[in-house]
Structure 1
Amino acid sequence: MSNEPQRTRRSQRILLRVLCGKVQMEPQPGPGQRRREKIMAEEKRAKLYLAGPEVFLPDAVEKAREQQALCARYGFIGLHPIDNNIDVQERDPTQILEIYRAIRLFRGDVHALLVRFSTDALLSALKIYMGDIHQIYQCDIVVANCNPFRGALIDDGTAYELGFGNALGKPSYGYIDQMIPAVENIVKRYPCTIREDGVPVDQDGYLVVDDFGTAINLMMQCGMLMSGGRLIEGNFEHCLQAIRADLDSGTLRLPREAADR
């Protein structure tokens, strides 16, 4: 004997209860809700600002996309400064001014500065600078390539970005091919002479006395430690692995997580 009439009556009773407000039907997610859920999921992924001299490579854009793909593999969103360099010929200062207003960190009259250099090549530099600062402001963690660049030391732009991120309270991580003492690295890569007392002196006459057990300038390496991060021996992916492990273990807590607790 078929149970179809019984199932029909049961369905009718459920429908009646729904219409009377006694049963809450589970709403089906629409396209708008799915988009919101996707955005929320993205917001839960840590954003990494990828500092380093890779922007000067001949294949800088391809390299940036490779780094961003690696970030995604480890559950991160990579904010790359190359994305601020692609349209530097755009001469409209309004876009930069909007970035400035969003950040509100600078004391100078930025509008007057932009108008002053609106037809000068420096406007491109200002656009890159403001774009990079905006990305650091948006990120959760600063990740820096700390390998020597055009000499014995870290790229100076990368050093600035590390310090800026630390000043904003962002954790910072760095990676370097070899974790050797800074003094050894300087003597190896920069013309130096050794005094009778064994202290190296560089070709500009400055003492090479950075012997504090750090592989890079102590301000940057100590800044990483104090921020909750550290300097990793290895490549970019090794650094991502370390960040992922620190987050998963609870060793690293992002500022927004600490605020929520």
Structure 2
Amino acid sequence: MLPALRLYLAGPEVFRPDAAAEGARLKAICAAAGAEGLFPLHEEGVDIRQACIDMIDAADALVANITPFRGVHMDPGTAFEIGYAEARGKPVFLWSADPRPLTERIPPVDSGRDGEGHLVEDWGKPENLMIVPDGRAVGASAQQAVAEAVAALDVAVKNRVLQRRTRHAVLLAIAVSLAAALFAGTLADWLIGW
């Protein structure tokens, strides 16, 4: 039996009034896809930042909700988690309930700039290009992002199992070889002394 792929579920869901229920729903989506969802809802008194970092370290990948939160951009904590996961070499899979490109959320008023004169990114992406680099898909739902993660990482999980089985087989072969050598040495000593 293969170990379940572990997916850290990043996003602003932890701020919802029904955070525990939403976390259970997201974990159920992961379970239905054959993965284990790690939802970062922590109790008071816990170092939340460190607990989230520890959960990301324990995960195989990160699935992040980048839907705009409290404005036109995603939750900044989720942006940190994406950056941390990438720095640790973890694959990142994204979803957003608002797929509109930034230029539709922040309509430029003059020469591609907003009302304050700042340039509006016009890459056709639903978030900053540091979050959605070229080639990274953004699913329309958590189900899509989880399915993409499971499909992409299924081979990695199988490789991890194969590596573990290979290590066990090598250790067993070494143990059998040592036992055979000890037996042969003992037999030779007995025959010589007989």
The yes-or-no answer on 1:168 pairing with 2:127 is: no
**2:39 is the alignment partner of 1:68:** no
Residue deviations 1:165-204 (CA, integer Å, cap 9, x gap): 00000000000124332222223xxxxx712xx32324xx
| Counterpart contact for 2:8–2:37, Cα < 8 Å | yes
Q: Which amino acid aligns with 2:17?
A: P
State the shift of 1:241 in Å: 2.0
SS in 2 for 1:65: helix
C-alpha distance after superposition, 1:40-95 (max 9, x if no partner): x57x211000000000110101111111111111110111111xx22x13xxxxxx
TM normalised by structure 2 equals 0.74
2:49 maps to a residue whose letter is Y
Check if 1:236 corresponds to 2:114: no
1:233–1:186 Cα change, 3 Å = farther
Structure 1 segment 98-137 matched on structure 2, within 5 A: 127-137=47-57
Q: Does 1:143 align with 2:54?
A: no
Q: Which residue of 2 is the match for residue 207 of structure 1? A: 118
2:53 maps to a residue whose letter is I
The question of whether the paired residues in 2 share the 8 Å contact of 1:47 and 1:76 is answered with yes
In structure 2, the CA distance between the partners of 1:52 and 1:206, relative to structure 1 (3 Å rule), is farther
Q: Residues 219 and 135 (structure 1 numbering): CA distance in 2 closer, same or farther, change over 3 Å?
A: same
Q: CA deviation at 1:137?
A: 0.7
User: Is residue 49–residue 78 contact of structure 1 (8 Å, CA) maintained in 2?
Assistant: yes
- Aligned to 1:47, what secondary structure does the other structure show? strand
Secondary structure at the counterpart of residue 78 of structure 2? helix
Structure 1 Cα separation of the partners of residues 98 and 13 of structure 2: 18
Specify the code of the residue in structure 2 equivalent to 1:231.
A
2:132 match: 221
Distance 1:161 1:72 in 2: 22
Counterpart code for 2:132: Q
One-letter code of the match for 1:213? G
Do the aligned partners of 2:106 and 2:114 also contact (CA within 8 Å) in 1? no
Unpaired runs of at least 5, structure 2:
167-194
| 8 Å Cα contact 2:5-2:34 kept in structure 1 | yes
Please state how far the C-alpha of 1:220 moved relative to its aligned partner: 1.0
**Cα contact 1:183–1:208 (8 A) shared by 2:** no
Query: SS where residue 218 of structure 1 aligns?
Result: coil
Query: Does the Cα contact within 8 Å between 1:48 and 1:141 map onto a contact in 2?
Result: yes
Give the match's secondary structure for 2:90. Answer: coil
Q: Distance in 1 between matches of 2:151 and 2:90?
A: 18
Higher RCO (C-alpha under 8 Å, 6+ residues apart): 2
Cα offset for 1:206? 4.5
Of residues 36, 53, 57, the one that matches 1:77 is 36
When Rg is computed on C-alpha atoms for both structures, the one with the higher figure is 1
- Aligned pair count reads 162
Q: Distance in 1 between matches of 2:30 and 2:22?
A: 12
| One-letter amino acid matched to 1:232 | V
1:54 to 1, 5, 13: 13
